[in-house]
Amino acid sequence: MAREYFSQKRILVTGGAGFLGSHLIDRLIAAGHDVLCVDNLFTGAKRNIEHLLSHPRFEFMRHDVCFPLFVEVDAIYNLACPASPVHYQYDPVQTTKVSVHGAINMLGLAKRLRCPILQASTSEVYGDPTQHPQTESYWGNVNPIGLRSCYDEGKRCAETLFFDYHRQHGLEIKVARIFNTYGPRMHPADGRVVSNFIMQALRGEDITIFGEGSQTRSFCYVDDLVDGLIRLMESREGFTGPVNIGNPVEFTIRELAELVVEMTGARSKLVQRPLPSDDPTQRKPDITLARSELGWEPAVALRDGLEKTIAYFRGLLN
Ligand code: NAD
Ligand code: UDP
């Protein structure tokens, strides 16, 4: 009983009303923790957390992390930031602000509380990679002035801040480089490839392949991703990462489109649209470090994850 009491923590999840944050909170609540969800609902939605609103160990606070936050918690997961290219390019200045000012505010909070803090970083720190698959030691190939830079450079600067707080103030940090993740509660209009293709297929619309469709991505199901984040937060003291968290099975975008059409039974045609600028041509994580340090690797195959995701989007349309 006493052990249970002490292993229960008060955990702050910023961006907790978003896609990944809401799944993370479900897992933390199920594990017996007390969760404070901080979100300004820019891309997140109350419907992602509505099943938790009356839970005694859950609390929601509408707040923008670009401003300081004064709360008492034992650990912080910093996820607040729009994640889809359409959303983060909508207000690029705000995207850099949330990445950088948000990180400074949450790091300042962690410093005052002397508590561990995890950063949701991204495979975008590798830009359009010239090394394949990407290992954590690769420094990346990022355009600093392009349309994706607000996100890529914002997240890179956030990583710098995390490591400087670690070196300068001895803060316990954990940096996860998250690769493309999909699943239920993705925003149906966020423009990401999995949500786009499924929504287009379910509506019988054309499937929009940007460019030739030969560019690759590696898709991780949300349950696997959340498992990786929790393992990272609970990893040995001194293990900071950065660590790649993603599924190493690589697909071309055309293969994904064909799979979605087959699985939905849609009559949609595949049509080509111009490739957005700086769109990475290939992406696949090397997860050797996650395997050895966290004992983690994804368990859900793309077909199985897509089945659940398609069912979720079907539910939204009915
Ligand atoms: P999402 O857009 O669904 O969630 C982001 C959440 O942050 C939203 O609820 C949004 O309202 C909130 N938010 C945005 N600006 C805020 C602010 N200023 N103050 C407070 N809250 C704010 O995206 P997601 O896919 O759940 O991504 C979560 C995190 O994981 C992001 O930091 C993203 O960069 C990172 N990430 C995600 C992926 C992926 O494939 N899903 C890949 C790499 C990195
Ligand atoms: N993409 C596509 N059609 C769409 C949406 C995206 O072909 O309707 C492509 C996009 O150009 C990119 C890949 O799918 O090459 C993944 O895009 P997404 O926006 O999901 O994430 P990214 O990995 O680029 O951040």
Relative to the CA of 210, which ligand 2 atom is closest? 7
Number of structural domains (the chain) is 1
The verdict on residue 3 lying in a domain is no
Q: Which domain range does residue 232 map to?
A: 10-317
Helix, strand, coil content of the chain in percent (nearest 5): 40, 20, 40
**Residue of 226, 223, 227, 201 whose CA lies nearest to 304:** 223
The verdict on residue 4 lying in a domain is no
- pLDDT at position 1: 40
Q: How far is the CA of 275 from the centre of ligand 2 (A)?
A: 9
CA angle 99, 244, 192 (to 5 degrees): 60
What is the residue-level pLDDT of the chain in tens, covering all 318 positions? Answer: 443 445 799 999 999 999 999 999 999 999 999 999 999 999 999 999 999 999 999 999 999 999 999 999 999 999 999 999 999 999 999 999 999 999 999 999 999 999 999 999 999 999 999 999 999 999 999 999 999 999 999 999 999 999 999 999 999 999 999 999 999 999 999 999 999 999 999 999 999 999 999 999 999 999 999 999 999 999 999 999 999 999 999 999 999 999 999 999 999 999 999 999 999 999 999 999 999 999 999 999 999 999 999 999 999 998
Residue-wise pLDDT for 220-241, tens only, equals 999 999 999 999 999 999 999 9
Other CB atoms within a 10 A radius of the CB of residue 277 amount to 9
The verdict on residue 2 lying in a domain is no
The verdict on residue 1 lying in a domain is no
Show the ligand 2 pocket: residues with CB < 6 angstroms.
Answer: 84-85, 180, 191-193, 196, 208-210, 215, 217, 253, 276, 279
Relative to the CA of 194, which ligand 2 atom is closest? 20
pTM score, whole prediction: 0.97
**Residue of 288, 279, 303 whose CA lies nearest to 245:** 288
Q: How far is the CA of 22 from the centre of ligand 2 (A)?
A: 23
The verdict on residue 308 lying in a domain is yes
- pLDDT at position 318: 83
Residue type, 109: L
* Token pair in block for residue 224: 């696997």
Residue-wise pLDDT for 188-224, tens only, equals 999 999 999 999 999 999 999 999 999 999 999 999 9
Spatial distance between the Cα atoms of 310 and 87, rounded to a whole number of angstroms:
22
- Give the CATH number for residue 283: 3.40.50.720
- pLDDT at position 3: 39
Dihedral over alpha carbons 306, 307, 312, 316 (to 10 degrees): 90
Q: Which of 13, 23, 37, 42 to mutate to test the pocket of ligand 1 (most atoms within 8 A of CB)?
A: 42
**Is 218 close to ligand 1, i.e. is its CB under 6 Å away?**
no
Smallest CA separation from ligand 1 atom 12, residue = 15
The verdict on residue 146 lying in a domain is yes
Q: Where are the alpha helices (DSSP H) in 70-148?
A: 85-88, 92-113
Based on the residue annotation, tell me whether 5 is a catalytic residue of this protein: no
Beta bridge partners, 115, equal none
- Which of 77, 88, 151, 165 is catalytic? The answer is 151
